[in-house]
Amino acid sequence: MLEFLPKDVREGLEAARKRDQKKRSRLRVQVGEAVFPILRFWDEGFALDASLTPNLRGLVDVYDGARHIFQCLIIASAQENGELVCDFKRSTMVSDRAPLDFWRDENAPVALLPKA
């Protein structure tokens, strides 16, 4: 239905849609010092604004606001409708503590109390 509208109106609607997506999304990609807002995010990848983003490949960090949530190995697969669509080769959740190298019993005591 948008094909019946004049070209400048379609471009204005597309720019407003992108601006609205950027405001709603707290997700962002950080590559070194460069930061790019994520427009859409799904299980196998995410989409960035193609006009603001260079062709990304390699290891990137994904943040939700100030919280680091993923470290991803990505490939930039295609540009569709002004978006740079990036697919994950690997996506690893970031943890705030080191992984355990031993098995922890669910019913184990939290701490030992000395005899009184």
Domain coordinates in residue numbering, the chain: 2-93
Question: Does the predicted TM-score (pTM) go above 0.75?
Answer: no
Q: What is the b/e burial string over 82-107, where b = at least 16 CB atoms within 10 angstroms of the residue's CB?
A: ebbbbebeebeeeeeeeeeeeeeeee
Q: What is the pLDDT of residue 13?
A: 80
CATH domain 2-93 topology: Thrombin, subunit H (2.40.10)
At position 12, the amino acid (one-letter code) is: G
**CB-based contacts of 92: which residues, under 8 Å, 6+ apart?**
70, 71, 72
Computed over its alpha carbons, how large is the radius of gyration of the chain? 21
Q: What is the pLDDT of residue 1?
A: 57
Q: What is the pLDDT of residue 49?
A: 85
Closest residue by Cα to residue 56 from 90, 81, 84: 84
d(CA 36, CA 60): 11
Q: How far apart are the first and last CA of the chain?
A: 80
Q: What is the pLDDT of residue 116?
A: 64
Q: What is the pLDDT of residue 16?
A: 74
Using alpha carbons only, give the angle 97, 99, 103 rounded to the nearest 5 degrees. Answer: 130
How confident is the prediction along the chain (116 residues), in pLDDT tens digits per residue? 566 778 888 888 877 777 766 566 688 999 888 899 888 889 899 998 888 888 888 899 999 988 899 999 998 778 888 889 999 899 888 887 777 788 888 888 878 778 76
Closest residue by Cα to residue 87 from 74, 68, 70: 74
Q: What is the pLDDT of residue 25?
A: 66
